[in-house]
A and B are shown apart, each in its own frame.
Chain A
Amino acid sequence: MEKDQDKIINDVTTTEYKYGFYSDIAMDRIPKGLSEEVVRIISAKKNEPEWLLDFRLKSYRHWLTMKMPTWPNLKIPPINYQEIIFYAAPKERKNLKNIDDIDPELKRTFDKLGIPLEEQKHLAGVAVDAVIDSVSVKTTFKETLAEMGIIFCSFSDAVKEYPDLVKRYMGSVVPYTDNFFATLNSAVFSDGSFCYIPKGVRCPMELSTYFRINSANTGQFERTLLIADEESYVSYLEGCTAPSRDENQLHAAIVEIVAEKNAEVKYSTVQNWYPGDKEGKGGVFNFVTKRGMCKGENSKISWTQIETGSAITWKYPSCILRGDNSTGEFYSVAVTNNYQQADTGTKMTHIGKNTKSTIVSKGISAGHGQNSYRGLVKVLKNASNARNYSQCDSLLLGDKCGAHTFPYLEVDNSTAIVEHEATTSKIGEDQIFYCNQRGISTEDAIGLIVNGYAREVINKLPMEFAVEAQKLLQISLEGSVG
C-alpha cells in the first residue's frame, strides 16, 4: 500500500511541462538591472507621454522606500533586481496592419501554444490579445468589437489612443503605493491589455489575453485595465505559459477592474507558468495584484482562477464592494505539486449596503507542494446587511505535502452574516481502487477525482476553457498518486 502510494506520487510528479520550449525570436532587449534610467528607457521605448513617465518615476521612487513583505507562508529566495531584464520585445514591430507582418517564428510560437493569431483559425467567439515578454504582438477581432464601441487593445495603444480613459482609471483600484510588487509594476510595466465596454453593451465574445514569457532572465510586468461601463457585461480570460529554465523568473502583474452601475465582469485565469522541475529548480514567481472595484450599484465582479503552474504563486484577486447591492465572487483551484508553493486567496471588502460575496477555494497539494489559502472578509461600519459565504477545501495527495488555511474576518457592522466552512480530505485508496476495479487506471482515477473535486470551480469557466482546465489539472498531477 505504502509502496503504491509512493509510486503514484512519483508518477504524478514526473510529467514534463508541455510548454517549456523556447522560441528563437529576434528580440530587442535592454541591459539588465533596475534604475531610474531604466524606467526612463522603458518609457522612451514606448514613446510615452509625460504624465505616464511621471507616474512611473513616482512609483519607482516610492518602491525604493519599500521592503518585500515577509508575512506569506512561502519560502522565497532573495531576488536580485539588478539581474533581471526589465524590457524585452520581439523586433521588427512596425505598424502591424497585416498578419503577414508578424515574425513567422512568433506566429509559430503561438500556434504551438494553441493560440493562432489568424482570426479565421481561431476559436469562434474568442478575441485574443497576445503578449510576449514585454509587449502585445497582436489583438484579434479588434475591428469587429470596435463596431459595438468596445475597445480591446494593448495597453500601449490605449495610452496613445484613449489617454483620458487610461488616466482616469489607471491606479484607481490598485494605487501605485499599494504593495511592493504593485509599486514595482507601476514603475516598469511594459504592456498588457486594455478593455472598455461602453454603456449598455453586452460583449458578444470572450475577450482574452495570452501571456507568454520567452526570453531568459526577463521579468514580465504587464498591466491589464478593464472597465465595464453602466449596464454592460464582459467575460475575460487570461492564460499564461513560459519556457522551462533553471533560473526563476519574476512575473509581477497588475489587473484592475472597474464595474460601474449594473455592470458585470467575469474574469477567468488559467495560469500555467513553468512550475520548475521536480526537484524544485527554476519556475516562475507569480506575484500578481488583481483587484476589482464594484463601483456602481448592483455591479458584480467574479474571479475564477485555475492555478496549476508557477514555482511560487502569491496573489489575492479581490473585490471592493462599494456600490450598494454589489456582488463579489472568487472561485479558485490551486494546485501545488513537486516543490511548488502557493499562498493565494482573496479579499472581499464590503463597503456598500446589501453587498454579497462568495468565496470558494479548492486547494490541491501533491508531492512536496505547500498550499495556503489566505482570505480576508472585511465588513465596514456602513455596510448593513452584508453577506459572505466562504468555503475552503483542501485535498491532499500523499503525505509529504501541506495545506494551510488562514481566514481573517473583520466585521464592524452587526447586521452582517458571515459564514466560513473548511474541509480537508485525502484521495482515498478505496476511491482509487474502486476506479481501478472498473478498469480505470490510477492516473485517470486521480484525474477524475480531482476534477470532480474542482468541478464547482471549473463549471464557472467558459466552456472551451473548462475542457482545457480539466486536462491541465490532470496533467499537472500526473504521476502524483499510485
Chain B
Amino acid sequence: MLIINNLKASIEGKSILKGISLEVKPGEIHAIMGPNGSGKSTLAAVLAGREFVEVTEGTITYLGKNLLDMSPEDRAKEGIFLGFQYPIEIPGVSMVNFMKTAINEHRKHNGLEPLSASDFLKLMRDKKELVEIDSKLANRSVNEGFSGGEKKKNEIFQMAMLEPKLAILDETDSGLDIDALRIVANGVNKLKHPDNSFIVITHYQRLLDYIIPDVVHVLYDGRIVKTAGKELALELEEKGYDWIKKEIENNVTA
C-alpha cells in the first residue's frame, strides 16, 4: 500500500524529518506515537501533499506510484484521506454541498456518474448512522461553530463517506472526551476491512485501547526510533517518553 523510504523533509529550511522508512500493508493499522515536536504531523502533511513542507530526500510509493508527483486532490481521489488535527472552518458552505462535491469528484475520477440527490442523501444518512453522528451537523456549514469534539467526529464522518484506502488520522483523539473518543474509534473499527489501511497518529496510548494497532512506531526527533507490536504502546504509557529519550541517549553515548 504505502512504502516510505528514507524520507527527509524540512519546513522553511529547518530539517524536521530526518530519514523515515516505513511500510504499511493492506489491512494494517499503524500507530505513530511520539512526543510533541517529533515530526508526527509533518509526516501527515507530507503524505497529504502540503506544500509548505519541502521533501529534500527519499521516496514515497503509494499503490506502486510515486506519491510525491501527485497533487493533493489526486492523492485524495486515489484514496488517501487525512483526518485533520485542526479541521478547517468554511463559512457558508454546507456540509451537504461540500460532501456532494467531494464524492462526485471521487466518482468522476473513477469513471462513475455523479450521485443523484436522493442517492447522495441516503448515503449521508447511512454513514451518519454508522459513525453515530448527530444529523444536525450535516445541515451546518463545514466545521463552522462546531465544538472540538464535533469537528473530530465530522472528520470520521467524512472518512466514512469517502471510503479511503489509506486513512491518516492526525491526533484525532486530542481534545476528545471519552464518549467522543469511543465514537471516533468505533468509526475506525467499523470502516476497517482487509483492503484498507490506517495510520493513526497519537500522542497518548488512550486511543489505542479502542483501536488495536498491528504495528506501533515511536517517532522522535524526526526519526522512527522504535517499532514493535501493540504492546509497545502500553510500555510507553507506563514509562513515558523519557524512557525512549534515555534509551536513545544511551545508544548515542554507548
**Which A residues lie at the B interface, using CB under 8 A?**
1, 4, 428, 430-431, 433-442, 444, 448-449, 451-456
Interface string of B94-115 (1 = CB under 8 A from A): 1001110110011001000000
Q: Is the CB of A448 within 8 A of B51?
A: no
Contacts known (A428-B88, A440-B101, A444-B101); A452 close to B141, Cβ less than 8 A: yes
- Provide the main secondary structure of the chain A interface: helix
Q: Tell whether, in the assembled complex, residue B101 and residue A455 are in contact, meaning their CB atoms are under 8 Å apart.
A: no
- The answer on a CB contact under 8 Å between B48 and A448 is no
**Bound complex: CA of A452 vs CA of B76, how far in Å?**
22
**Residue numbers in A under 8 Å from B245 (CB-CB):** none
A367 to B94, CA, bound (A): 27
B65 within 8 A of A: no
Q: How far is the CB of B165 from the nearest CB of chain A, in Å? A: 13
Q: How far is the CA of A4 from the CA of B72 in the complex (A)?
A: 12
**A439, A451, A455: the one within 8 Å of B73 (CB):** A439
B17 to chain A, nearest CB (A): 19
Contact of B102 among A1, A439, A451, A454 (CB under 8 A): A439
Residues from chain A with a CB closer than 8 A to the CB of B88 are: 428, 430-431, 433-434
With a cutoff of 8 Å between Cβ atoms, the chain A residues found around residue B216 in the complex are: none
Min Cβ gap B72→A in Å is 4
CA of A435 to CA of B142, assembled, Å:
10
In the complex, the answer to whether B72 meets A437 with C-beta atoms within 8 Å is: yes
Q: List 22 A-B contacts (CB under 8 A).
A: A1-B52, A431-B88, A431-B90, A433-B48, A433-B72, A434-B87, A434-B142, A435-B90, A435-B102, A436-B49, A436-B76, A437-B75, A437-B82, A437-B84, A438-B158, A439-B76, A439-B105, A441-B105, A448-B101, A452-B94, A452-B97, A452-B141
Q: A438–B87 Cα gap in the complex (Å)?
A: 12
Q: Looking at the complex, which one of A428, A436, A438, A451 makes contact with B162 (CB distance below 8 Å)?
A: A438
A434-B87, A448-B90 known; A439+B82 contact, CB < 8 A: no
Q: How far is the CA of A270 from the CA of B118 in the complex (A)?
A: 30
Q: In whole Å, how far is B85's beta carbon from the nearest beta carbon of chain A?
A: 12
Query: In whole Å, how far is A146's beta carbon from the nearest beta carbon of chain B?
Result: 38
How far, in whole Å, are A385 and B87 apart by their CA atoms in the complex?
44
Q: Which of A440, A442, A455 contacts B92 (CB 8 A)?
A: A455
Q: Is B87 within 8 A of A436, CB to CB?
A: no
Q: Quick check: A434 and B90 within 8 Å, CB to CB?
A: yes
B91 at the interface (CB under 8 A from A): yes
User: Are B50 and A439 touching (Cβ within 8 A)?
Assistant: no
- B92 and A453: CB pair below 8 A? yes
- B93 close to chain A: CB less than 8 A: yes
Within 8 Å by CB of A436, from B73, B81, B91, B142, lies B73
Cross-chain contact A449 with B93 (CB below 8 angstroms): yes
Cα separation A436 to B76 with both chains bound (whole Å): 7
Does B102 contact A452, Cβ atoms closer than 8 Å? no
Chain B residue at smallest Cβ distance from A450: B92
Given the interface contacts A436-B76, A438-B158, does A452 sit within 8 Å of B101 by beta carbon? Answer: no
Tell me if B128 is interfacial: C-beta within 8 Å of chain A. Answer: no
Q: Is B217 on the interface with A (CB-CB < 8 A)?
A: no
Contacts of A441 in B (CB 8 A): 73, 105
Is B77's beta carbon under 8 Å from chain A? yes
In the assembly, what is the distance between CA of A428 and CA of B82, in Å? 18
- Cβ A434 vs Cβ B84 within 8 A: yes
Query: CB-CB < 8 A to B71: which residues of A?
Result: 436
B73 / chain A contacts, CB cutoff of 8 Å: 436-437, 439-442
CB distance from B238 to the nearest CB of A (A): 35
Q: In the complex, what residues of A have CB within 8 A of residue B50's CB? A: 433
Cβ contact within 8 Å between B91 and A452: yes
Do the beta carbons of A440 and B90 come within 8 Å of each other?
no
Within the complex, the shortest CB–CB distance from B77 to chain A, in Å, comes to 5
User: Are the CB atoms of A1 and B51 closer together than 8 Å?
Assistant: yes
Do A444 and B84 touch (CB < 8 A)?
A: no
Q: How near does chain A come to B142, taking the closest CB pair, in angstroms?
A: 8
Q: Which residues of B contact A452 (CB under 8 A)?
A: 90-94, 97, 141
Q: Are B51 and A4 touching (Cβ within 8 A)?
A: yes
A437 touches B76 (CB 8 A): yes
Partner of A439, one of B87, B89, B94, B109: B109
Bound: A433/B93 CA distance, A: 15
Apart from A438-B76, A439-B109, A439-B162, what are 19 other A-B pairs with CB-CB below 8 Å? A430-B88, A431-B89, A431-B90, A433-B50, A434-B87, A435-B98, A436-B73, A437-B48, A437-B76, A439-B76, A439-B105, A444-B105, A449-B92, A452-B90, A452-B92, A453-B91, A454-B92, A455-B92, A456-B92
